[in-house]
């Protein structure tokens, strides 16, 4: 006797998602237009600012920053790398990509750091946020381009929004980790001396957690840069557009030059952000620890 086939009812998850996107577009069209205009204005302003001086002046500024935050070796790399971008004719798209990455990173961090702090202070918030971050990190990057194109059309705005969504999770996770990793005895010492929650956060937890938070910033920038290239598919411009154009025309030379410019920009941003963020609140923490130890010594002598 042939067994009856197992019939599993179809759950129209995709249709529900499509209906949700259509509902948002229908009811918040004016808001979406305002967000789009704001994002375009921000990216264009930063891009125009970067392109306003002569390229060699900006190259000199990048090299000076590299020297200040790291070393002579990195400064030499920055000088040679940025001059190579100029010589390949990739300076303008590189600055457009940098502007997009800077705006997307800034907005992502303005969301990620407060959410990470809340998640570190509340297990309930952490439990709610964690599956959302898992969903955002595991969803393929190209999927984000579909709804943002419906919301904002073709251009810079959908590229920025997709980049924010794709790059945001590490900022939240590493901020939460940074706050939770702070020595509990140091926090208790601050509370014992009458520190408020805000004072402890500002004077102890953030300074001690700054290296981990900056690691999150670094990851947000790297993911934003990778997504900014993919966003060239929706007309975001910059190096992403160069790469997409090279694929459509099978232009190996153009694709290699665009990809090399992305690599140079990624290395520069990675090294700069990884060098910034050494703890600045050690003196306050040291004072609290010394007072705690003195108190323990006094109690032991009684």
The CATH number assigned to the domain holding 280 equals 1.10.3720.10
Q: Is residue 268 situated within a structural domain?
A: yes
Q: Is residue 24 a part of any domain in this protein?
A: no
Cα Rg, the chain, nearest whole Å: 24
Give, rounded to a whole angstrom, the gap between the first and last alpha carbons of the chain.
88
Is 20 domain-assigned? no
Q: What is the pTM of this model?
A: 0.81
Q: Indicate the number of domains in the chain.
A: 1
Q: How many residues does the chain have?
A: 302
CA distances (Å), 15 to each of 26, 28, 72, 302, in order? 16, 20, 56, 73
82-104 per-position pLDDT tens digit: 999 999 989 999 999 999 999 99
Domain assignment present for residue 21? The answer is no
Phi and psi for 235 in degrees, rounded to 5? 80, 25
Whether 151 is in a domain gets the answer yes
- Provide the 3-class DSSP secondary structure of residue 134: helix
| Residues of the domain holding 206 | 31-292
User: Residue 11 domain-assigned?
Assistant: no
Both tokens of residue 139? 């969803």
For 127-166, what is each residue's pLDDT tens digit? 999 998 888 888 877 777 888 888 888 888 888 888 888 8
243 part of a folded domain: yes
């Amino acid at each position: 006797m042939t067994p009856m086939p197992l019939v599993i009812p179809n759950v129209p998850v995709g249709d529900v998602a499509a209906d949700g996107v259509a509902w948002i577009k229908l009811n918040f069209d004016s808001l979406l237009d305002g967000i789009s205009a704001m994002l375009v204005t921000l990216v264009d302003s930063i891009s125009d600012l970067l392109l306003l001086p002569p390229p060699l002046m900006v190259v000199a500024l990048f090299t000076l920053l590299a020297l200040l935050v790291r070393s002579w070796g990195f400064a030499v790399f920055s000088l040679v790398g940025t001059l190579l971008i100029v010589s390949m004719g990739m300076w303008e798209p590189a600055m457009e990509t940098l502007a997009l990455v800077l705006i997307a990173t800034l907005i992502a961090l303005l969301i990620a750091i407060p959410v990470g702090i809340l998640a570190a202070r509340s297990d309930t918030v952490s439990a709610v946020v964690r599956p959302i971050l898992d969903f955002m990190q595991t969803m393929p990057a190209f999927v984000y381009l579909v709804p943002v194109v419906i919301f904002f059309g073709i251009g810079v705005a959908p590229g920025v929004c997709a980049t924010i969504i794709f790059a945001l999770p590490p900022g939240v996770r590493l901020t939460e980790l940074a706050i939770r990793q702070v020595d509990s005895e140091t926090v208790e010492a601050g509370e014992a001396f009458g520190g408020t929650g805000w004072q402890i956060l500002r004077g102890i937890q953030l300074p001690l957690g700054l290296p981990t938070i900056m690691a999150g910033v670094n990851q947000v920038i790297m993911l934003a840069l990778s997504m900014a290239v993919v966003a060239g598919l929706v007309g975001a411009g910059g190096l992403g557009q160069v790469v997409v154009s090279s694929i459509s025309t099978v232009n190996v030379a153009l694709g290699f030059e665009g990809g090399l410019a992305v690599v140079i920009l990624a290395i520069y941003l990675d090294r700069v952000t990884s060098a910034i963020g050494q703890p600045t609140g050690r003196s306050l923490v040291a004072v609290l620890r010394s007072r705690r130890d003195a108190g323990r010594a006094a109690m032991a002598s009684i």
